[in-house]
Structure 1
């Protein structure tokens, strides 16, 4: 019988980062735990919430690979949370369980293609419609066209979400669509795509509400066929982390790898 190999946290991280050049100010780091501890199981998630951490503990996993920070800011700073009880309880739970938490943000965005965007396109079933890529977006072309309402219905169904937000005329027919994940919905990123890529619709995770949505409002009032769908930051990026979990399962069959999805953070009242 072949002896089962034990992998350290460092070996998993080296696998994830192989061939990737990270920026000097990268946010990717081992936030808790140690590199030399042996991995008993892996939980992959978009946001390492209290619920996700509890699920990891219940499942016997001691490595969480998360896209976003557990501590409510992009650079995982904690000095400003020193006397906060929510932070303290969460940190204590992680430490007492001996969980190593690796932030996988810049790494996965530097996959070829971008691992987060690729996961979203695959989950939507739009791979065959992919017609091009920009630095921030994937461009999909629907040969027969779809109305904004039809696209919105597909998004809700295929991402298993209750709602999206639409700006502009929801009845226009879209043939070229730009898909942007996460916090890429700001005006300086999205607005040039209408001109440079000749898109009818932009689908984004989130962005400042007074930039792109206001541009779309003016365009609609001028009679121009442009529209915007905001899906939500987590809702646009979680599929990419699920794809990462699937790939880790293939590469490390000796380790139980689980993707844990959170419920949407907002409810519509």
Structure 2
């Protein structure tokens, strides 16, 4: 028998104990036997339904399931919250949130998964705690954007700066790390020409890029979306789990892009 605790121990053991964390078992009991595992970016209603179809009673989700980063949620009396919680309990689904621990792997598994998906993990790469810098053969911002769309199978990206600008030193910031406090030091101190990020406040890094270009210092930013930047890392986790728990069905369930292009 493989229990939920066995899986928790395996996915958290590469990292020292984190005291203040959003990670933890949100539903279920640690001694429950596992029939199958679903790994996902977020345990959406669609993912919950897939877990019952696949007979997978443990979901490992990267993001919070009730529309908030933190467990305390003032929206718990609203219909979507109530219905989703009812479905979870009626279906006897166990859900483990894996956010902080996986970001603290060395290197960050979420970052490594993105670089692997873009086939950039073999390039000259410098990993930091919250970012990575990759040196590639000289390309343009537009060519890199097309590569991202193709490899990640996403319909669009958002570009700030000149699409024809050439670059070879690229910074990566997954998830919500695209704000100025993390992005601008990569531009200024590390000399990156292009940053590829999940998302961040539009009035921060995009405005820096606009001013830098107006001042004659060519910089560019590609925003690919929070989920698009972090899903590859969770998918990479599936490979690691299959190696350790080869008797268990382990599935990666990906949602459709959440924003439509109009």
TM range (shorter): over 0.9
Q: What SS does the aligned partner of 2:8 have?
A: helix
| 1:126 corresponds to | 120
Mean alpha-carbon deviation: is it higher for 127-136 or for 96-105?
Answer: 127-136
* Aligned-pair CA distance for 1:76: 2.0
Q: What SS does the aligned partner of 1:128 have?
A: coil
1:135 maps onto 2:123 in alignment: no
Deviations 1:23-46 (A, max 9, x none): 321000100111111001000000
| 1:92 corresponds to | 86
* Aligned-pair CA distance for 1:130: 3.1
* Aligned-pair CA distance for 1:129: 1.5
Q: What are the equivalent positions in structure 2 for 1:14-93 lying under 5 Å apart?
A: 14-78=9-73, 80-93=74-87
> Contact 2:38 / 2:56 at 8 angstroms: preserved in 1?
yes
Distance, in Å, in 2 between the alignment partners of 1:158 and 1:35 is: 37
| 2:221 corresponds to | 228
> Contact 1:71 / 1:77 at 8 angstroms: preserved in 2?
no
* Aligned-pair CA distance for 1:249: 1.0
Q: What are the equivalent positions in structure 2 for 1:1-269 lying under 5 Å apart?
A: 6-78=1-73, 80-143=74-137, 145-269=138-262
Moved over 2 A (4+): none
Q: What SS does the aligned partner of 1:191 have?
A: helix
Q: What SS does the aligned partner of 2:122 have?
A: helix
Distance, in Å, in 2 between the alignment partners of 1:267 and 1:204 is: 19
Distance, in Å, in 1 between the alignment partners of 2:125 and 2:37 is: 35
Distance, in Å, in 2 between the alignment partners of 1:82 and 1:66 is: 19
Q: RMSD across aligned C-alpha pairs, in angstroms?
A: 1.0
Distance, in Å, in 2 between the alignment partners of 1:130 and 1:70 is: 36
TM (norm. structure 2) is 0.98
TM (norm. structure 1) is 0.95
Mean alpha-carbon deviation: is it higher for 16-25 or for 91-100?
Answer: 16-25
Distance, in Å, in 2 between the alignment partners of 1:97 and 1:132 is: 44
Distance, in Å, in 1 between the alignment partners of 2:81 and 2:196 is: 33
Deviations 1:190-213 (A, max 9, x none): 011112111100000000000000
| 1:3 corresponds to | none
> Contact 1:130 / 1:138 at 8 angstroms: preserved in 2?
no
* Aligned-pair CA distance for 1:152: 0.1
Gaps of 5+ in 2: none
Deviations 1:128-169 (A, max 9, x none): 2233122221111113x0100000000000000000000011
Q: What SS does the aligned partner of 2:125 have?
A: strand
